[in-house]
Structure 1
Amino acid sequence: MILPIVAYGNPVLRKVADEVDPDYPGLKELIANMWETMYASNGVGLAAPQINKSIRLFVIDSEQIFEGMEDEEEKAQYPGDEGAKKVFINAYIKELNGTPWAYNEGCLSIPKIREDVVRSGSVTLEYEDEHFNLHTETFTGITARVILHEYDHIEGKLFIDYLPPLKKQLLKRKLSDISSGKIKVDYKMSFR
């Protein structure tokens, strides 16, 4: 089932999410719905707070980014990163490494706004998968960026928090329009 994506301004996007335990009601169905919602919205990641669930759960599929890259030179910009399609439950960052780099990010909860955000080149994460098996894994390149973006959602942060004050000021009206529902998108959204 495709779920509505919570728009900027909803308080759930600013909460630090709660841990998930294996007996969380309907977890398997929720994860399936998150995949369906993410793909229907043309996203590469989706965190539970974006569907109004304040729990430490997100899904990513950065493989589709690499599938969209036609030439090998473009792929070569991200050595060691072939993308990943994974479920992350109760994730915590263990280490940030690599050269920080800027990339033009957007967010399904903040549609029609894209800005350059500087993030670390790699992230080591401890997390549980959908079967609650514990993993510690390092991700690099675009995949690390997608993970860090979704991880921010479970920590109550948004990509616009990384912008300089003047840039945020310039976006104030657009953000206000988003939170009040004065925006058209081709996916289901929920406004406050």
Structure 2
Amino acid sequence: MTVRPLRLLGDPVLRTPCDLVTTFDAALEALVTDLLDTVQVPGRAGLAANQIGTSLAAFSYNVEGRLGYVLNPRIVETDGEYDGEEACLSVPGVQARRLRAAYARVEGVDLRQRPVAVEGTGELARCLQHETDHLRGELYIDALTGERRRAAMRLLRSRATIPGPASGGGDRPLV
């Protein structure tokens, strides 16, 4: 089992859109294994490849007893509204209410390039949207508005610094 270290807010890999997976080889299989191992740490629901330092369009999920992954995911359908607490492994210690679709369907492929579809409501829908956003270089805090955004930003600023990238480096300023 390989649990990879997480990249945190301030690491440029989190703000860089991920590349589509085009090479389906042993390295990709190892990445998927690491994504699945890393998302199974208690308290985790989803994990995008860029959160572990790899700029490929891949994520894993572990929500309500459903564990899996999607390569080259794209949201193809959403419906309704779901307003609930959201947090991010790459923005530790900050959570905020965020409006998302109540239902989401993601399509992509698996390691054998076979079509994959994952759909869900509630927390699974939130996870699918959250991880797909990561792959575009977006964090959930980016879409917060009004008092929700102000509260999240106050919390971030109160922390003064965040750890540097998992590959080394010292602390960095938050903004």
Q: Output the TM-score relative to the length of structure 2.
A: 0.83
Q: Which residue of 2 aligns with 1:172?
A: 153
* 1:152 positional shift: 0.8
> Structure 1 pair 179/88, CA: closer, same or farther in 2 (3 Å)?
farther
CA–CA distance in 1 between the matches of 2:154 and 2:75? 33
CA-atom RMSD in angstroms: 2.5
Q: Is 1:86 the equivalent of 2:68?
A: yes
CA distance in 2, matches of 1:178, 1:15: 23
Instruction: Could you tell me which runs of 5 or more consecutive residues in structure 1 were left unpaired when the two chains were aligned.
Output: 65-83, 183-187
**Contiguous gaps of at least 5 residues in structure 2:** none
Q: Answer yes or no: is the 8 Å Cα contact 2:14–2:138 preserved in 1.
A: yes
TM-score (ref. length: structure 1): 0.76
Counterpart position of 1:30: 31
Shift in alpha-carbon separation, 1:134–1:164, aligned structure 2, 3 A: same
Amino acid at match of 1:101: Y
Alignment-derived partner of residue 120 in structure 2: 139
TM-superposed CA distance for 1:143, in Å, is 1.1
Greater RCO, 1 or 2 (C-alpha within 8 Å, sep 6+): 1
Question: After TM superposition, which residue ranges in structure 1, 4 or more long, deviate above 4 angstroms?
Answer: 188-192
The alignment status of 1:96 with 2:78, answered yes or no, reads yes
Find the partner of 1:121 among 102, 108, 115: 102
Cα–Cα, structure 1 residues 137 and 170, in superposed 2: closer, same or farther, change >3 Å? closer
* Deviation (angstroms), 1:125: 2.0
Alpha-carbon offset, residue 145 of structure 1: 1.0
Please show how residues 156-171 of structure 1 align to structure 2 within 5 Å: 156-171=137-152
| Separation (CA, whole Å) in 1 of partners of 2:38 and 2:119 | 26
Q: Deviations over 1:95-132 (max 9, x none)?
A: 221x2111101111011111101101112222112322
Of 159-168 and 49-58, deviating more is 159-168
Tell me which residue corresponds to 1:60. Answer: 61
> What residue identity is the alignment partner of 1:50?
Q
CA shift, 1:52, in A, is 1.0
